[in-house]
Structure 1
Amino acid sequence: MCSKLQALSSRIKQASSNGKWREVLCCYSEIQTSGTQLSDPFLFPIVFKACAKLSWLSQGRCIHASLYKRGFESFVSVGNSIADLYMKCGDLCSATRSFDSMTWRDSVSWNVVVFGFLDHGFEEEGLRWFSKSRVWGFEPNVSTLVLVIHALRCLRFHVDGKKMHSYVIRTGFCGVSSVQNSILSLYAECDLMSARKLFDEMSERDVISWSVVIKSYAQSQEPVRGLKLLKEMVREGKTEPDSVTVTNVLKGCAVLEDVDVGRSVHGFSIRKGFVLGDVFVRNSLIDMYSKGFDVDSAFRVFDETTCRNIVSWNSILAGFVHNQRYEEAVKMFGLMSKDAVEADDVTLVSLLQVCKFFEQPLPCKSVHCVMIRHGYESNEVALSSLIDAYTSCSLVDDARTVFESMTYKDVVSCSTMISGLARSGRPDEAISIFCQMKDKPNAITLVNLLDACSVSADLRKSKWAHGIAIRRGLATADISVDTSIVDAYAKCGAIEMARRAFDLVPSRNVVSWTGMISAYAINGLPERALASFEEMKREGYTPNAVTYLAILSACNHGGLIKQGLMIFKSMVEDHNKKPSLQHYSCLVDMLSRAGEIDTAMELIKNLPEDMKPGVSTWGSILSGCRNRLKSRIVTTEAISEVLELEPLCSSGYLLASSVFAAEKSWEDVASMRRLVKEKKVRVVAGYSTVLEGTMSRRFLAGEKLNQSDCELNNVVQSLRRCLTLENTMEWI
């Protein structure tokens, strides 16, 4: 019997050395069934290790119970293996109980517990146990130390990370490459200078060391320095860069939209052979070219990729969306379906951006159905994109339903809902969403709130939003918030308050100056808009395309034709800016308002070949024809173009009808009305909104009020009070 026990014990040791864990447990079971008992305590750690490797927790519990009765648990090696079994199988409570019941503990005991907590993602608990082990004077092993440093990095305990670096130096672990790389990764996230200093002091640098520092430069928006380091790595010749190193540089180029540096890295990748078989490098190249606005190069990389995955498809799809080539994005999705690649949440977000651009409600709802079928209803990013798409497609109530169904409404979803409601002319609901927010608002939230206040044209609400921005420390700290404050005051008619808010902006830029010029323009102060435009140029800011559009709009509505033409000429000749269709449309409208219909028509005929006049351009001609009777040929051409471009929009028919009425051509007026009925065009009437107290009253053109004379009289009296208050304010 004794010889059989020895033979089985030898088999257990042999199976353990060969990694045959099932055989280990089979031999142990055979010993148990034979009626004999293992007397060698050093075999039990092997048995428990086999249970841990196979994740057989219940068998391990049974063996633990049998050992507890026989007193073998008092051996340190056995106690360590029991705690390790429970840790590896995820039973952390049993592991800590086993640790606490141990009579004697060594460094292995502490390492098992610390490593177990950290390995299961309980960073704070693992660090607490590590501190306890240091108090008792036990030293960590390399694996535990690497996990401790990783935990400090995850929790962003950067000060403790520096203390750990000192400990590593004192204990002599600084010569271990894995520990050095862990410290390097920690510094790379919080202190790039210290990371570079440590990197330069390292005697042995492997590919991980190089990749960590290159990645830190990429994330710090210094991809050129990352590229220089890559060149230094190649020149040194001791360590060959791998695909991870190249991917890190490409990510930096994508962040900075730096295609030139990205092309250099692409060429290097081809020479090293990374592009041929590494899908991660190819996906990074697609992303880099897409974000650098060279989507054609991105597509060439994608087209040459034979080992495509879902990330490849998502990258090129997002690339077309990012470059506003939405029709090609739709075609790519069609190809994706043909290749039987199943869309994920990232794909759906890109498709929602396409639906938002085309403003097509049906495809938007189709994407929503796919989201429900694939269980993406809890994906906050996808739901926020869906809300944004619904509001853009005029499905505000559907967007609200999605928003209300969300279990947790984060700052992104709330900001998106506020923006959508503001765009849809429902500012009171947008402000109500803001008041119900649980998370702290960020700059984007405040910008959307201020947009809602500007839509409501309520000065008190704009002041309230301004106050929130000040309390949150975002006023005068974020340029987008500052510009929105100016815009909100301007749209409430409080131009002097808008100017005071603008003067408080510490670091103005072109956007803030453009906002101020627009503020003067919409309040009918073209002279002050021109003065601000000149002041902006004197302070050294170069106007961009939006600035020119704002100042041209000011000249247009102020009737400053000569100044407007001079500014347009300066834009093209002095600043070498290429006018867009909006600039030309503004110029056509300005000439049409001044009665220069022939000049405006000549401008339309001489537009660049890549531009086609839109409905607003022809509408300006038509409005000019109504105000100043012109030849029937011009009028007919303008009406034809407007109705062809927007056949289902009522404004074109109404404008054409008013032109014919001005000419006293009643037969043509009747013809326009027949067309509206035949094509079933929905006529949208204009309205005026008057704020009385906290209530806003809407007066719709042509509306028949089904109210008693008393109620109607109250409405008229309310309107008179509002007008009296407005006139009084002008004298103050």
Structure 2
Amino acid sequence: MGSRMCWKVQALSSKIKQASSNGKWREVLSCYSEIQKSRTQFSDPFVFLIVFKACAKLSWLSQGRCIHTSLFKRGLESFVSVGNSIADFYMKCRDLCSATRAFDSMTSRDYLSWNVVVFGFLEHGFEGKGLWWFSKSRVWGFEPNASTLVLVIQTLRGFRSYVDGEKIHGYVTRSSFLEIPSVQNPILSLYAEWDLSSARKLFDEMSERDVISWSVVIRCYVQRQEPVFALKLFQEMVRGGKTEPDSVTVTSVLKGCAVLEGVGVGRSVHGFSIRKGFDLGDVFVRNSLVDMYSKGFDVDSAFRVFDEITCRNIVTWNSILDGFVHNQRNEEALKMFGLMRKEAVEADEVTLVSLLQVCKFFQQPLPCKSVHCILIRWAYESNEVAISALIDAYSSLCLVDNAKTVFESMAFKDVVSCSTMISGLARSGRPGEAISIFCQMKDKPNAITIINLLDACSVSADLRKSRWAYGIAIRRGLATTDISVDTSIVDAYAKCGAIEMARRTFDSVPRKNVASWTVIISAYAINGLPEKALASFEEMKREGCTPNAVTYLAVLSACNHGGLIKQGLMIFKSMVEDHNIPSLQHYSCLVDMLSRAGEIETAMELINNLPDDIKPGPGAWGSILSGCRNHLKSEIVST
């Protein structure tokens, strides 16, 4: 009888192992229940591992507890492998207290014991406890496995703990995990979020790079607004031929092309994605193509890609809608929104932001108010992005009181909404209110906030307030580090009449760009110093900085108000011959300059010979009439 029972138990044990390999967990527990009914002293540790795994897979907490109790009575939990299985079972069933009690009661432990507890806490979102247990395991000299190590690194990445990340990197370097890409890639991602140079150094040192390694660094360059390096790395990846880019890599590269706002390289990447088949089955690649062409001012190509997408999501629609807005084709943007509604695609806050941009273009208050109603109806009042766009739209439409009402209704006013409101009030000639909002801010101001604050100070023409704003920029570490802030400081001082302070601030800017040079030229122009404006213009060219259309407008304005006709005509001629960028504003400025000097016939000749795509505006005709009145010329003969 005993031998028959023993044979039956062995048969059931085999059946349990077979059921486990096929994932039949209910059958595993059914067979184990029969073994228990036989009252045979059974002590195969491997079967117990399978039984606890089955309880964990089925989330049968009470059954697992009963089995744990029976093993405890028989002293079988002293086996390390069994103790590990019990702790793992409790972790998988989210009974973390029982899991730690099972761990503490183990008389002996191996590296799996610690991994079970550390992994369990981290996997269930108890990052602080998980890291504490990991530190404790290291003190006891136990080694994590690759899965636990990856989870620890990802947790440190979420905590933005750079110092601890470096320590983990040091441990990986000393251990046997150094050559495992699945461990190195999370460290690479961790560095990529904090220190691009360290990430690139680690990438260059990696003996084995997979597609994830390449994609992480390429994406990092794009996110840090260094798309040229991202594209060079992509070229190196393709030419090397060892690692094939995937759709994630291509998506990052296309985003880099969008940052560059040029479709030349983007078309090549598009061709590459077609050859690899990414453009057909991957919606992320398709959406990135729409965005890339839109940002590169080729919205027709963007629409062709959009039209070929059979399975569109809200991102697809938002990308083409934003593309039309970005390319100032606002009527088509409205048509796309109508088509979107016709196809019953539910809009989101990004859609509404694009619509608000359209409202700003048409300068119509009613559509803006209609979008505001939609925001309320769809319960987007607490969405900072949408509300900030609404405040900006109202301000641009000279409805600054409506903007302020929306702003004051916000429960939490973040840095974006505050910056937008400050800008709107400054543009509306209400600098005192703008400065008051800045003083009430709870968030730390960023560069945009400081720039808008400086605009408000320049509107007030109060030098004391401009110096106060400059002091804030210095304390926040934004002066001399952000060229846009430095440029705004120069502009504020100039509009307050403090031209010498403006020049000293300009001279302290370490890396000057076309915007900063344009501002100092304008500063001299508005303060009645045209010779110094021209001297700065020549200095700018000697420094190798190419003037743009705004720069030329500032120089012509200086010549105009300084009566420097000869120099103005020479500069205009140079602009046409070297850059071919004159617009209606440049022609109007030149007409005004000639009219002020009494050269009415020359001004009229200029108007009559304007390019076909430029028509004289009211400003140009006003300058002619004003010149005639001032120089007592009552008749104008127009050909």
Q: Quickly name the TM-score band, shorter chain normalised.
A: 0.7 to 0.9
Write the distance in 1 (CA, Å) between the matches of 2:420 and 2:594: 39
Match for residue 64 of structure 1? Answer: 65
Please, which of 171, 176, 179 is the counterpart of residue 172 of structure 1? 176
**Shift, 1:606, TM fit:** 2.8
- From 603, 616, 624, the equivalent of 2:619 is 616
Query: Equivalences for 1:42-191 in 2 at 5 Å?
Result: 46=50, 48-50=52-54, 52-54=56-58, 56=59, 59-60=60-61, 63-64=64-65, 67-68=68-69, 71=72, 74-75=77-78, 80-81=84-85, 83-88=87-92, 90=94, 92=96, 95-96=99-100, 99-100=103-104, 102=106, 104-189=108-193
Select between 97-106 and 364-373 the one with higher mean Cα deviation: 97-106
Partner of 2:603: 600
Deviation (angstroms), 1:450: 0.7
Q: 1:217 touches 1:225 (CA, 8 Å); kept in 2?
A: no
Question: What's the secondary structure of 1:506's corresponding residue?
Answer: coil
After TM superposition, the structure 1 = structure 2 runs for residues 120-519 of structure 1, keeping only pairs within 5 Å, are: 120-189=124-193, 204-216=208-220, 218-219=222-223, 220-221=226-227, 222-234=229-241, 236=242, 239-519=243-523
Which residue type is aligned with residue 614 of structure 1?
A: G
Q: Quick check: 459-468 or 155-164, which moved more?
A: 155-164
Q: C-alpha deviations, 1:382-415, integer Å up to 9, x for none?
A: 2222221221122223322332333332222221
Closer, same or farther: CA 243–508 of 1 in aligned 2, 3 Å: closer
Q: Distance in 1 between matches of 2:385 and 2:475?
A: 28
Residues 426, 456 of structure 2: 8 Å contact kept: yes
1:670 alignment partner in structure 2:
none
Secondary structure in 1 matching 2:488? helix
Q: 1: distance between equivalents of 2:95 and 2:369? A: 45
* Alignment CA distance shift 1:544-1:107 (3 Å): same
- Rounded to whole Å, the distance in 1 between the matches of 2:375 and 2:101 is 45
SS of the residue corresponding to residue 178 of structure 2 reads helix
Would you say the 8 A contact 2:55–2:64 is kept in 1?
Answer: no
Q: Which moved more, 1:95-104 or 1:478-487?
A: 95-104
Q: Please say if residues 218 and 233 of structure 2, whose CA atoms lie closer than 8 Å, have aligned partners that are also in contact.
A: yes
Is the contact made by 1:247 and 1:281 (CA closer than 8 Å) also made in structure 2?
Answer: yes
Deviation at residue 419 of structure 1 after TM alignment: 0.9
Q: Aligned in 2, Cα 1:31/1:613: closer, same or farther, shift over 3 Å?
A: farther
Find the counterpart in structure 1 of residue 561 from structure 2.
Answer: 557
Q: Deviations over 1:458-485 (max 9, x none)?
A: 2221121122222223223322222212
Q: Which runs of 5+ in 2 are unaligned?
A: none
2-side partners of 1:364 and 1:36: how far apart?
79
Q: 1:571 to 1:5 in 2, by over 3 A?
A: same
Unaligned runs of 5+ in 1: 636-732
The residue identity in structure 2 corresponding to 1:228 is Q
**Distance across 1 between alignment mates of 2:257 and 2:235:** 13
The match for 1:588 among 587, 591, 604 is: 591
Distance between the aligned counterparts of 2:295 and 2:71, measured in 1?
Answer: 68
Please point out which of 515, 518, 529 is paired with 2:533.
529
Amino acid at match of 1:231: V
What is the letter of the counterpart of residue 527 of structure 2?
Answer: N
* Segment of structure 1 superposing worse, 274-283 or 147-156: 147-156
Q: TM-score, normalised by structure 1?
A: 0.76
- Mapped partners of 1:455, 1:93: distance in 2: 63
Cα distance change on mapping 1:199 and 1:434 into 2, 3 Å: closer
Kindly indicate whether the alpha-carbon contact (under 8 Å) linking 2:455 and 2:488 is maintained by their aligned counterparts in 1. Answer: yes
User: Residue 428 of structure 1 aligns to which amino acid in structure 2?
Assistant: G
Counterparts of 1:8 and 1:305, CA distance in 2: 56
Shift of 1:444: 1.5
AA in 2 matched with 1:403: F
How many angstroms does 1:623 deviate by? 4.2
Q: Please state whether the residue corresponding to 1:174 is helix, strand or coil.
A: coil
Give the Cα–Cα distance (whole angstroms) in 2 for the partners of residues 407 and 97 of structure 1.
45
**TM-aligned CA deviation for residue 266 of structure 1:** 1.7
Return closer, same or farther for 1:101/1:593 CA change in 2, 3 Å cut-off: farther
User: Does the 8 A contact of 1:233 with 1:240 survive in 2?
Assistant: no
Provide, for residues 677-701 of structure 1, a one-character-per-residue CA deviation record: whole Å limited to 9, x for no partner.
xxxxxxxxxxxxxxxxxxxxxxxxx
Partner AA of 1:447 in structure 2: I
Q: Specify the SS of the correspondent of 1:173.
A: coil
Q: Structure 2-normalised TM-score?
A: 0.86
Name the CA shift for 1:283/1:515 in 2 (closer, same or farther; >3 Å): same
Q: SS in structure 1 opposite 2:346?
A: coil
Residues 207 and 519 of structure 1: CA distance in aligned 2, closer, same or farther (over 3 Å): closer
Q: Which moved more, 1:456-465 or 1:292-301?
A: 292-301
1:265 to partner: Cα distance: 1.9
- CA shift, 1:552, in A, is 1.5
Distance (whole Å) between structure 2 residues aligned to residue 125 and residue 392 of structure 1: 51
- Counting matched residue pairs gives 628
- Partner residue of 2:575? 571
Alignment partners' CA distance in 2, 1:622 and 1:22: 96
Greater relative contact order, per chain length (Cα 8 Å cut-off, separation 6+): 2
Distance, in Å, in 1 between the alignment partners of 2:103 and 2:325 is 56
Q: 1:467 to 1:159 in 2, by over 3 A?
A: closer
> In structure 2, what is the Cα distance between the partners aligned to 1:319 and 1:578?
24
How far is 1:453 from its partner?
0.8
Flag the 1:375–1:205 CA change in 2: closer, same or farther, 3 A: same
Q: Is the 8 A contact 2:55 2:63 kept in 1?
A: no
Structure 1 window deviating more from structure 2 (126-135 vs 174-183): it is: 174-183
2-structure distance, mates of 1:460, 1:601 = 46
Q: Distance in 1 between matches of 2:446 and 2:353?
A: 22
Shift of the 166–470 alpha-carbon distance from structure 1 to 2, 3 Å rule, reads closer
Q: Give the alignment's Cα RMSD to 1 decimal.
A: 3.6
Q: For residue 71 of structure 1, give the secondary structure of its aligned residue in structure 2.
A: helix
Aligned AA (1:506): P
**Given the superposition, is the C-alpha separation of residues 21 and 360 from structure 1 closer, same or farther in structure 2, using an over 3 Å criterion?**
farther
Percent identity among equivalent residues? 78
Distance 1:619 1:99 in 2: 88
Structure 2 counterpart SS, 1:454: helix
CA shift, 1:596, in A, is 4.3
After superposition, give the CA deviation of every residue in 1:430-452 in whole Å (9 maximum; x if it has no partner).
Answer: 11111112222222111111101
The 2-side partners of 1:200 and 1:500 are apart by: 43
Tell which deviates more after alignment, 356-365 or 548-557. Answer: 356-365
Query: Structure 2: how far apart are the matches of 1:537 and 1:171?
Result: 57
Q: Please say which of residues 443-452 and 344-353 is displaced more in the overlay.
A: 344-353
Secondary structure of the 1:482 match is: helix
Displacement, 1:320? 2.4
